[in-house]
Structure 1
Amino acid sequence: MRGGASIYAPFGELIPNLTQLALKTNNFSSTNALGGITQTIGTGWTIAALISYNCAIPQTQLPYKTGYNNNVAKYYLHSAVCLGDVLDSLGYRQIMFQGTSADFAATRGFFTSHKIEMRDDKYFQSHKILQGNFQGMWGIKDSVIFGFVKDYLQTYTDSKPFVLYISTMDTHHPDGFVDTQYCQGFEKTFENAVRCSDKIISDFVMWVQNSKFKDNTSIIILGDHKSMKQNFFPANTKRSIYNAFIGTHFPQEKLKNRLISHFDVTLLFLESLGISIESFGLGRNPLRSQTLLESLGEQNLAQELKIPSKIYESFWNLNPKKL
């Protein structure tokens, strides 16, 4: 790690390209150095993080009367208004690309309930477009998924604006996956899984920045949650979640010495598209005001998030208008 345990992991030498991208563009941090997003209650695993980024609410509890069942999985947070619903109302085409099955953790139900088309491993298998060495540890490897995204962009002729969500999996615990075809000479270690992912993602960003979309495209790179890799980070390492907002024009004086959560990112998504509002769900626009983390403090916010909420339970009801 650059500078040892005092630097916010996983920034540093493991992701040199992404570190430079964050430094050169917009990166929110709780110090004057490179930093990241603070993980709080209901955001610390993948589907919870995706919900929090998109809806500005945590995934803390399911409806106490129904629990988790097939209907809940199919219509996940169906009545919540989330980023996908807003962008759909504004005419955006939206697609989620991922190399694993979207049936896991109700990912398909969540995204399709909020107007986002899902292209997962089942989609690519059914369309018979998988060729060569495409298999990673958890499904289709990241370099292949980014290849599909490039193919989509190169053939996109629709006049509608679009948002593409891309989920990467090569650094997933327990040991990650090293794409030795893309990162030749890399030994199969967790460190190299992170380094290879750094190369794959930054290469894609560079490709977009040299494409026909370069002048009117924003790129947002986020970690979903803190790494779950066991016994990898020193005990005294203060960790936060990577973020970089590329192609946006955020005031630099608003970025440092800040405490932002997943919920606040929802507003930054909208801000990057030129939509500036003060609040959305539990999110507060850090470019315009204090966040809840800043006004309440981390412990107080965590306690508030544990309190049952009738409003939160209502988000799991079916929305007849969507049906």
Structure 2
Amino acid sequence: MDNLEKTSEQKEVKQGHPKLRVLGYVLLVFFAFLSVLIGLSVRWCFSTWQRLTMEELVYTLTAPITGTGQGMIGEYLLKCLAPAIVAGLLTIVFLYIAKRIKKIKPAIIIIVVACLFVGGYKGVYNFWTTLNVGDYLYNMTHPSTFIKDNYVDPSKVDLQFPQKKRNLIYVYLESMEQTYTDPSVGGTHKQNLIPELTKIAQQNESFSNSKTKINGSHSVSGTTFTMGGIFAATSGLPLKTNIKNNEMSDQTSFFDGVTTLGDILKDQGYNQAFMIGSDASFGGRDKYFNSHGNYQIDDYNWAKREKLIDQDYKVFWGYEDEKLFSFAKRQLSSLSKDDKPFNFTMLTVDTHFIDGYKCHLCEDKFPSQYENVMACSSRQVSAFIKWCQSQSWYKDTTIVLSGDHPTMNGGINGNTEWKDRKVYTAYINADAKRETTNNRNYATLDNFPTTLAAMGVKIPGNKLGLGVNLFSKEKTLLEKYSLNHVDEEIKKKSAFMDKLQDVRAKSARQLLKEGQIPLVTIKADPYKRNSETINTYVTKIKNPKNLHITEVLVNASYRQDGAYGMNNVMEKQSDGTYKSTVNVSSILNKFTNKVYVTVYVTTQENGKYKSAQIEVPIK
């Protein structure tokens, strides 16, 4: 009897084994897929962003990503996801063969070891060491008072503007470096990619000690990406944020405790505009310029609203620089007719990594596309400056050309060390004279007070933020300490920066409840697969605070967060409702089963906020 019971138990165990084995095989295949995906993703990440830092990664993950370029998606799918899927399929084949020849245990050991090597060593370990995650965690737990000790609050400085205030044109040149010139003029490249920009810097001011060799500015930690570079140049501070969980898009303000260039010029009665060929919400740029100077935002969506481009037009990040400079001339001609002085700020995009955007103006003079795009940008910027110089308002206008940060494309700079990488800088038609002819060692942080000085503004002490007026004899932080010392101190946690940030982020749900965002009701026509467009409507708007609505934008995407979607400015109808037909042919595929339709409402009082979202099933 006992033997019968044992036999019965053994049968039950044996019957259970196949299910456990199948589950084990499935987990092993998934482990192989995940390991290869992690390993290849890390390798792709560091080959694409060769100077990626933890600070930049943290900001990128917490800032809005709506409006980002789509060029890298295909490359990631091809180089990372597809090989990982193939690895999973090959694992299935390998296990099948091993089982047939009764070598399953050695096969499992081989797969596990391979996965640990690819995913663990090549993936997680390389990620940890390359990004210096250990140092980052150390810096976050070992505060520094360096920023507080060296910060000069602009709101407490008695700035003295000239009687006739000068206009300002500030052009941020995407990824533009002084390094792209050859050694004869101060750079490190074999050939001078940017001869036109070189000539501009030689004829104007780059704070060099030579008539032929041009100088440039360093990018310290917290300023090596676009929003960080812009923030540094206009506030004299690195962009260190403690915002978590992508709450940047839910902020009503952006470092509310900081006084910036935009705040100062707004108080002086300037008309201010910010023009870019992409969606201004990416990285929180719209929040920054709205909350610090009430800039008019002339972005990709604005161009659609003004019917300067078609509703479904999109290349690279939005529209190309050829159009940007054309639209800039249009806006400058309009601003110059007003009695008020103006601050027109713009950001180019064609030179964005990985390889830039090659337009019909670009030539094939250099080996790589990126080099040719840089050369093309140099010619376009030079032509724009010449146009400005031909205008009647130029005599009263200071122009600043500045790279936003060093490029993240590692190939163009060869083996140039980071300490020798400088962003392009030129001050044109400045109303200030240098007090020293030394070759200045400076950072983009110094652009803040230097820009005001170039506009003829007197700055007692010649310091604002962490920056120094480069026209003065005052030593910069890099001259007083060193690039490495300043960089290391800025990386550390700063309670002072946390206080300056004064985050007042509220979720859209909270603000809607308080009536601080107009509440909209969305509707969309049924969407059939393979249709090119989807019709969207705002049928009702509840606006209890009577906020001034400046724009209603609709986003249609396969992702709930709206990333990689198509944005349209909705047209107001005679009955007060809004309508828009969105072209979604380029963003949906046969695997998509729904479309997320999101409406953003921009008010003069609170800026742009997500107001409502619906899911439209694909039939």
TM-score (norm 2): 0.48
Work out whether residues 175 and 189 of structure 1, in 8 Å CA contact, stay in contact via their aligned partners in 2: yes
With over 3 angstroms needed to count, the CA separation of the structure-2 counterparts of 1:23 and 1:11, relative to structure 1, is: farther
C-alpha deviations, 1:167-226, integer Å up to 9, x for none?
Answer: 00111000011221x346779811110111011111000000001112111110000111
C-alpha deviations, 1:93-148, integer Å up to 9, x for none?
Answer: 11000000111111111111101221110111122221699754221111111111
**SS of 2:392's equivalent?**
coil
Partner of 1:93: 271
Larger of the two Rg values belongs to structure? 2
1:299 Cα offset (Å): 1.9
Measured in 2, the distance between the counterparts of 1:11 and 1:206 equals 27
> Is 2:346 aligned against 1:166?
yes
> Is 2:328 aligned against 1:149?
yes
1:209-248 aligned at under 5 Å gives the runs 209-236=389-416, 238-248=420-430
Measured in 2, the distance between the counterparts of 1:72 and 1:59 equals 18
Measured in 1, the distance between the counterparts of 2:452 and 2:193 equals 30
With over 3 angstroms needed to count, the CA separation of the structure-2 counterparts of 1:241 and 1:184, relative to structure 1, is: closer
Which one has a larger percent helix, Structure 1 or Structure 2? 2
1:80 Cα offset (Å): 1.1
Pick aligned residue for 1:259 from 432, 435, 441: 441
Partner of 1:55: 235
Give the letter for the 1:282 counterpart.
L
Which one has a larger percent strand, Structure 1 or Structure 2? 2
With over 3 angstroms needed to count, the CA separation of the structure-2 counterparts of 1:110 and 1:205, relative to structure 1, is: same
**What is the percentage of aligned positions where both structures have the same residue?**
26
Work out whether residues 181 and 189 of structure 2, in 8 Å CA contact, stay in contact via their aligned partners in 1: no
Give the letter for the 1:264 counterpart.
D
Partner of 2:494: 309
Partner of 1:276: 458
Partner of 1:204: 384
The number of aligned residues is 318
Measured in 1, the distance between the counterparts of 2:215 and 2:333 equals 34
1:250 Cα offset (Å): 4.1
* Structure 1 stretch displaced more, 249-258 or 128-137: 128-137
Measured in 2, the distance between the counterparts of 1:178 and 1:107 equals 25
Partner of 1:83: 261
- Is there any run of 5+ residues in structure 1 with no aligned partner, and where? none
> Is 2:484 aligned against 1:299?
yes
* Structure 1 stretch displaced more, 127-136 or 260-269: 127-136
Measured in 1, the distance between the counterparts of 2:202 and 2:369 equals 27
Work out whether residues 9 and 240 of structure 1, in 8 Å CA contact, stay in contact via their aligned partners in 2: no
With over 3 angstroms needed to count, the CA separation of the structure-2 counterparts of 1:153 and 1:6, relative to structure 1, is: closer
Work out whether residues 46 and 224 of structure 1, in 8 Å CA contact, stay in contact via their aligned partners in 2: yes
Measured in 2, the distance between the counterparts of 1:101 and 1:146 equals 17
Measured in 1, the distance between the counterparts of 2:372 and 2:359 equals 9
> Is 2:388 aligned against 1:191?
no
1:79 Cα offset (Å): 2.3
Work out whether residues 218 and 444 of structure 2, in 8 Å CA contact, stay in contact via their aligned partners in 1: yes
TM-score (norm 1): 0.89
Measured in 1, the distance between the counterparts of 2:394 and 2:488 equals 43
With over 3 angstroms needed to count, the CA separation of the structure-2 counterparts of 1:234 and 1:215, relative to structure 1, is: same
Greater relative contact order structure (CA < 8 Å, 6+ sep): 1
Work out whether residues 274 and 296 of structure 2, in 8 Å CA contact, stay in contact via their aligned partners in 1: yes
Measured in 2, the distance between the counterparts of 1:222 and 1:11 equals 22
Give the letter for the 1:84 counterpart.
G
| Large movers: runs of 4+ above 6 Å | 184-188
Task: Tell me the C-alpha RMSD between the 2 structures.
Answer: 2.8
- Is there any run of 5+ residues in structure 2 with no aligned partner, and where? 1-179, 505-604, 607-619
> Is 2:307 aligned against 1:128?
yes
Measured in 1, the distance between the counterparts of 2:369 and 2:339 equals 44
1:11-30 aligned at under 5 Å gives the runs 13-29=192-208
Give the letter for the 1:89 counterpart.
D
